[in-house]
Amino acid sequence: MRPTPRLVIYAALLLALALVPLAADLTGNRFYVTLANRAVILALAAISLNLIMGYGGMISFGHAAYLGIGGYSVGVLAEHGIDNGWLQFGLAIGASALFAFLTGLVALRSRGVYFIMISLAVAQIAYFAAVGAYRYGGDDGLTIFSDSRFVPWLRLGDSVTFYYLCLAVLLVALILTNRLVNARFGFVLRGIAANETRLRALGVPVFRHRLAAFTLAGALCGLAGALLANFADFVSPSMMDWTRSGDLIVMVVLGGVGTLMGPVLGAVAFVVLEQELSNLMEHWRLLFGPLLVIVVLAGNRGLDGLLGGRRNG
Amino acid sequence: MILALEQILNGAQLGLMLFLLAAGLTLVFGIMNLVNLAHGSLYMMGAYFAVTLIDWTGSFVLGALLALPAVLLLGIAVEVICLRRLYARSHLDQLLATFGLLLFFNDLVLVIWGKAGRTIALPGWLRTSVEILPGVPYSAYRLLVIAAGLVVALGLWFTISRTRIGMRIRAGASDREITGALGIDVASLFSLVFGVGAMLAGLAGILNAPILTVQSGMGERILVIALVVTVLGGIGSVRGAFVAALSIGLLDTLARAFLPDLLKVVLPASAAQTAGAAAGSMIIYLLMVITLAVRPQGLFPVRAR
Amino acid sequence: MKIAVGAVLLGTLLASTAMAQTPLKLGFVTTLTGPNAAIGQDMRDAVELALDHAGRKLGGRPITVIYEDDEQKPDIGQQKGQKLIGADKVDVIAGVIWSNVLLAMAKPILENGTFLISANAGPSQLAGAQCNPNFFSTSWNNDQTPMAMGEVLNRRGVKKVQLVTGNYAAGRDMAAGLKLTFKGEVAGEDYTRWPDQLDFSAELAKIRSTKPDAVWIFYPGAHGAQFLTQYSQAGLMGQIPLYNSFTVDAITLPLQKDLALGVLGTQSWVWDLPNEANKKFVADFRQRHNRYPSYYAAQSYDAVALLDGALKQTGGNTANKDALRAALRKADFKSVRGDFKFNNNQFPIQNFYLQETVKDAAGNFTVRTLETVYTAHQDPHHDKCPMKW
């Protein structure tokens, strides 16, 4: 692999993320860690969405539901005094995988706009389930009073420790995604997105491949949700609002659909824009909204495209 | 019994408002194949225009009527400047660009009309109640809203099924290419359809404004329900949208009104309300998922897609 | 020995002088967007007035206030709280209108050891088992004001009441408070979706069918104006008497106008309370803004005054948390409510008054005190709070 400017920039981005706590210490601004942490967790969620949307061509308009399911798994167990991290994260991943599997069973039979709408409707069901969960605060949300506990030396309450944990999870997810999309499974997935009829004719079990990808993406996003719950010490139905799903799509497309690093770039850009633009001008969406329109009209290659990347979807 | 009657009227009112939104959505969806998340913004803009025009004219009726052409023009402008470039694009591109528009409009109203949100005061003659049955008063304004919704629905049905322009629209909804081949000016037709759809959404916003607070983001919750109505009714079918809108309006209102009471038998009041109201909202989406699982093209499919 | 004491004294003196020069940072969280932005503005105006009255210095230390907008959303409030302790490193956070926002915000702030002074929200959790040595209130616990209302209903011989309120932390506390003291029958309880349900048609239809002697509501801010309008549109106004908690006030009266005539409410502060601090506050506020201050404003004014009083005792020092806490607990300041004393849970022990809506000489709608319902009332959760001092 030749070190193209794009690869250099990506390496620099990951290095910069790794150095954030140091920079925060030097400048005395701990808030950088908070911001970077949000970006890293959202990047994980965006990677999972990109797996099905970018590589698999399945536009899920309800992906924020998995953030919520992951978050509530941690929150609900913590509310009942169970702060064992293995149990909490296991439930988060398992419950989101199951929810994705069941959603996929119904939604993956349809295509195009019907798929989008079913994924939206299913996410709304999850949203209202959280709204109706009066035992867990309903609309008001649920404060988590104890952090997840894994092993005695890993204290998630410490912001730097937690940040590096999230960053490590992100790196592992990137490596695994890279291997997955370059393995046979990934080729088949992209093949289905590009020409389903052909793959069907070749005897590929299309539905099973799509369902597997959908379930995997749900599980990964559930993990992001569990991290988000530990990050904020708070979960509420607004995590699953349909505009949050829209935000995730924005991150993926802003970074570059169907590229490995695109979602990370998109999530970081989104968090930085949100923070910096809102500091500069209160009504930053007045610029950000038209920017999205321009990104789309200009050909939708995302930031990765600007850096010379080629979409392999 | 009297309670049920009132709730049915309330449900019909919500249903008709949903229909006003869904009518535009379903036509734009069906004819231009465009998923428009910014449709809720046009609903919001209608309400804001009404706020200003009622202020200027000093008359509720005049202001509300003037707001309609304003939304129509805004809709056409949005179509010409931005959306017509998206018709041939993927659904993902459409979602993203119209989501961008939604964010834009949400902040635009904050800049123009201030952060506080606005309310519209009704004139005295609409602030009264009318006895619909002996001893059962009902808000005069809500009756007016129901009447307006029915009139528009009837007008829309007449236009689409009985006029030349309606024929073209129907032709466009069932087959775009042929409509173009027949020498119909497709670009203008599309602008017109979009503009009228925007105006209907704006009308819903105007009619709802005195009942709600006019504020940024007010279009988002109702947009999702209108999307459900559109898909449930069958994309491109105005008739389907009407049936689906009324069903969902009634279902939502009745479930919200009676489910909590049923649950109060087993739960404390606030818990019953929380769970009951949420279950009421879930039913709509569940209904949509089940319907699509059984009838993938909605209740009134326009054509095989 | 003497030299050592002298050195220590000198050190303390130098430290406190250095401290006195760096400005104190106060984070003030309220709602500045949406239909309830008017409440946030009222609180902000009161904070600025309190600072002017204190000479723009609290305890001799210059002060910077960072206003943050929670948009009335728990998750946004939570993020803003984290920003205030993380990026701005404020010494104290005050404000917060909504109980659900406060509950979402409180944990990271209190865990960080930052003092949090609620100028409005008073969720039962923070008054009871979850009370915290760094949490103070200059308002009330949610249950108290409707408890006073329940007492009023009893005195007026109301036998059957219907409750309608927003379904969130405060709404549930308020209804519980009313039910604690009201001795008659509760005909029905409706909790509407908060804050996005503004259409009360279903609830109004139920009121008509249960035919209660009275209706009690809790709808702060824009919802209150909406509810009264719709109550009147449904033809219920004048038919079934309406009682309120936090629904008819200086914020909503300009919208409710004559609809609020005859709608009684209870409050721990009314603008016509005859004490010197209050007279000064109300006169200056009215002169500056040409409107009546609300209780939100009064409580915000008290929050700043409380902090000023405490910092005067510590010489502007905020680093010694125990000293600051002890000073805050003394509540040595001139409250607009008159006497001000903290309970063990650091919520005020205070009077509650019955108020009615009237038109003033200039034709503006306002409220006035009718009678005292409770004197030195303690909230019902304070004995669940383990703090003793």
pLDDT tens sequence across C297-327: 999 999 999 999 999 999 999 999 999 999 9
Match domain C144-267+353-377 to its CATH number in 3.40.50.2300, 3.60.15.10, 3.40.640.10, 3.40.190.10. Answer: 3.40.50.2300
Distance from CA of A32 to the nearest CA of C (A): 8
* pLDDT tens, residue by residue, B43-63: 999 999 999 999 999 999 999
* pLDDT tens, residue by residue, B197-236: 999 999 999 999 988 888 888 999 899 999 999 999 988 8
Q: Return residues 109-138 of A near B (CB < 8 Å).
A: 109-110, 112-114, 116-118, 120-122, 124-125, 128-129, 131-135, 138
Distance between CA C40 and CA C29 in Å, rounded? 9
Tens of pLDDT, residue by residue, chain A (313 residues): 566 778 888 899 999 999 999 998 888 778 889 899 999 999 999 999 999 999 999 999 999 999 999 999 999 999 999 999 999 999 999 999 999 999 999 999 888 888 999 999 999 999 999 999 988 988 889 999 888 999 888 888 888 999 999 999 999 999 999 999 999 999 999 999 988 899 999 989 999 999 999 999 999 999 999 999 999 989 999 999 999 999 999 999 988 888 999 999 999 999 998 887 777 777 888 888 998 898 888 876 777 777 776 654 3
* pLDDT tens, residue by residue, B175-186: 766 666 666 778
Predicted pLDDT of residue B267 = 85
Distance from CA of B305 to the nearest CA of C (A): 37
Q: Is C18's pLDDT higher than 80?
A: no
| Contact assignment for B224 to A300 by CB distance below 8 Å | no
Number of structural domains in chain B: 1
Distance between CA C276 and CA A284 in Å, rounded? 45
CATH code (residue A231): 1.10.3470
Write phi, then psi, for C349 (nearest 5 degrees): -100, 120
| Contact assignment for A234 to C194 by CB distance below 8 Å | no
- Which chain A residues are within 8 Å of C100, Cβ to Cβ? 139-141
Q: Is C5's pLDDT higher than 70?
A: no
Which of C35, C209, C234 is closest, CB to CB, to B117? C35
* pLDDT-wise least confident of B52-66, B133-147, B201-215, C373-387: B133-147
Q: Among B1, B6, B216, pick the best mutation site for testing chain C contact (most C Cβ within 10 A).
A: B6
Residue B128 lies in a domain: no
| Contact assignment for A118 to B97 by CB distance below 8 Å | no
> Residues with Cβ < 8 Å from C361, sequence gap 6 or more?
none
Residue B125 lies in a domain: no
Q: Among C199, C203, C207, C256, pick the best mutation site for testing chain B contact (most B Cβ within 10 A).
A: C199
Residue B55 lies in a domain: yes
Which of B35, B108, B220 is closest, CB to CB, to A286? B108
Mean of pLDDT over chain B: 88
Predicted pLDDT of residue B15 = 96
Number of A:B CB contacts under 8 A? 141
Distance from CA of B273 to the nearest CA of C (A): 6
User: Is residue C167 a contact partner of residue C194, using CB atoms and an 8 Å limit?
Assistant: yes
- Which chain C residues are within 8 Å of B269, Cβ to Cβ? 175, 189, 191
By percentage, how much of chain B surpasses pLDDT 70? 94
| Contact assignment for A140 to C75 by CB distance below 8 Å | no
Predicted pLDDT of residue A283 = 82
Distance between CA C60 and CA C23 in Å, rounded? 10
Q: Among A34, A234, A239, pick the best mutation site for testing chain C contact (most C Cβ within 10 A).
A: A234
| Contact assignment for C191 to B6 by CB distance below 8 Å | no
Predicted pLDDT of residue B134 = 80
Q: Is C247's pLDDT higher than 90?
A: yes
For B204, half-sphere exposure in the C-beta direction (CA atoms, 13 angstrom radius) is 31
What domain range includes position B208? 11-118+161-294
Q: Which residues pair with C191 in a beta bridge?
A: C165
> Residues with Cβ < 8 Å from A130, sequence gap 6 or more?
A68, A72, A136, A138, A236, A237, A240
Distance from CA of B174 to the nearest CA of A (A): 17
Distance between CA C322 and CA A284 in Å, rounded? 42
Widest CA span in chain C = 83
- Which chain C residues are within 8 Å of B253, Cβ to Cβ? 202
Predicted pLDDT of residue A3 = 67
| Contact assignment for C171 to B129 by CB distance below 8 Å | no
B275 touching chain A per CB within 8 A: yes
- Taking Cα atoms as reference points, which of C46, C38, C100, C15 lies closest to residue C271? C46
Distance from CA of C281 to the nearest CA of A (A): 32
- Which chain A residues are within 8 Å of B286, Cβ to Cβ? 125
User: Is residue B13 a contact partner of residue B149, using CB atoms and an 8 Å limit?
Assistant: yes
Region of A299 on the Ramachandran plot (φ > 0 left; ψ -120 to 50 alpha; else beta): left
* Torsion sign across C-alpha atoms B59, B60, B64, B65: negative
Q: Is C104's pLDDT higher than 50?
A: yes
Predicted pLDDT of residue C88 = 87
The chain C residue lying nearest B3, using CA atoms, is: C205
The chain C residue lying nearest B122, using CA atoms, is: C229
Distance between CA C127 and CA C122 in Å, rounded? 7
Q: Which two tokens stand for residue C143?
A: 């249950």
User: Is residue B30 a contact partner of residue B91, using CB atoms and an 8 Å limit?
Assistant: no
Please compute the mean of the pLDDT values over residues C84-98 and round it to a whole number. Answer: 93
| B189 confidence band (pLDDT: 50, 70, 90) | confident
Other C-beta atoms lying within 10 Å of the C-beta of residue B245: 31
By percentage, how much of chain C surpasses pLDDT 70? 95
Residue B305 lies in a domain: no
The ipTM is 0.90
B82 touching chain A per CB within 8 A: yes
| Contact assignment for C255 to B119 by CB distance below 8 Å | yes
- Which chain C residues are within 8 Å of A30, Cβ to Cβ? 86-87
Please compute the mean of the pLDDT values over residues C35-51 and round it to a whole number. Answer: 95
Distance from CA of C205 to the nearest CA of A (A): 23
* pLDDT tens, residue by residue, C76-87: 999 899 889 988
Q: Return residues 147-176 of C near B (CB < 8 Å).
A: 167, 171-172, 175
Number of A:C CB contacts under 8 A? 51
| C65 confidence band (pLDDT: 50, 70, 90) | very high
Q: What's the predicted TM-score (pTM) here?
A: 0.89
The chain B residue lying nearest C237, using CA atoms, is: B128
* Torsion sign across C-alpha atoms C175, C180, C184, C188: positive
What domain range includes position A198? 5-306
| Contact assignment for C191 to B212 by CB distance below 8 Å | no
Q: Is C1's pLDDT higher than 50?
A: no
| Contact assignment for B29 to A59 by CB distance below 8 Å | no
| Contact assignment for A236 to C104 by CB distance below 8 Å | yes
Please compute the mean of the pLDDT values over residues C45-50 and round it to a whole number. Answer: 97
Mean of pLDDT over chain C: 91
Predicted pLDDT of residue B154 = 94
Distance from CA of A277 to the nearest CA of C (A): 16
Which of A53, A125, A139 is closest, CB to CB, to B285? A125
Task: Identify the residue whose tokens are 């293995």.
Answer: A86
- Identify the CATH class of C2-140+273-342: alpha beta
Predicted pLDDT of residue A1 = 53
A185 touching chain B per CB within 8 A: no
Distance between CA A148 and CA C110 in Å, rounded? 19
Predicted pLDDT of residue A31 = 83
| Contact assignment for A238 to C75 by CB distance below 8 Å | yes
Q: Is C21's pLDDT higher than 80?
A: no
Q: Pick the residue with more confidence: B136 or B130? A: B130
C322 touching chain B per CB within 8 A: no
- Which chain B residues are within 8 Å of C255, Cβ to Cβ? 119
Q: Is B304's pLDDT higher than 50?
A: no
For residue C89, count CB atoms less than 10 angstroms from its CB and return exposed for 0-12, middle for 13-18, buried for 19 or more: middle
3-state secondary structure chain C: CHHHHHHHHHHHHHHHHHHHHCCEEEEEEECCCCCCHHHHHHHHHHHHHHHHHCCCEECCEEEEEEEEECCCCHHHHHHHHHHHHHCCCCCEEEECCCHHHHHHHHHHHHHCCCEEEECCCCCHHHHCCCCCCCEEECCCCCCHHHHHHHHHHHHCCCCEEEEEEEECHHHHHHHHHHHHHCCCEEEEEEEEECCCCCCCHHHHHHHHHHCCCEEEEECCCHHHHHHHHHHHHCCCCCCCCEEECCCCCCCCHHHHHHHHCCCEEEECCCCCCCCHHHHHHHHHHHHHHCCCCCHHHHHHHHHHHHHHHHHHHHCCCCCCHHHHHHHHHHCCCCECCECCEECCCCCEEEEEEEEEEEECCCCCEEEEEEEEEEEEECCCCHHHCCCCC
A289 touching chain B per CB within 8 A: yes
Number of structural domains in chain A: 1
Residue A313 lies in a domain: no
Residue A147 lies in a domain: yes
- Which chain C residues are within 8 Å of B128, Cβ to Cβ? 233, 235
Predicted pLDDT of residue B305 = 38
Q: Is B37's pLDDT higher than 60?
A: yes
| Contact assignment for A289 to B281 by CB distance below 8 Å | no
SS3 A142: strand
Which of A121, A242, A296 is closest, CB to CB, to B288? A121
CA distances from A290 to A58, A59, B89, B97, C201 (A): 25, 22, 17, 8, 38
| Contact assignment for C107 to A234 by CB distance below 8 Å | yes
Please compute the mean of the pLDDT values over residues B84-107 and round it to a whole number. Answer: 92
Distance from CA of C128 to the nearest CA of B (A): 20
| Contact assignment for A143 to C107 by CB distance below 8 Å | yes
Which of C34, C199, C205 is closest, CB to CB, to B3? C205
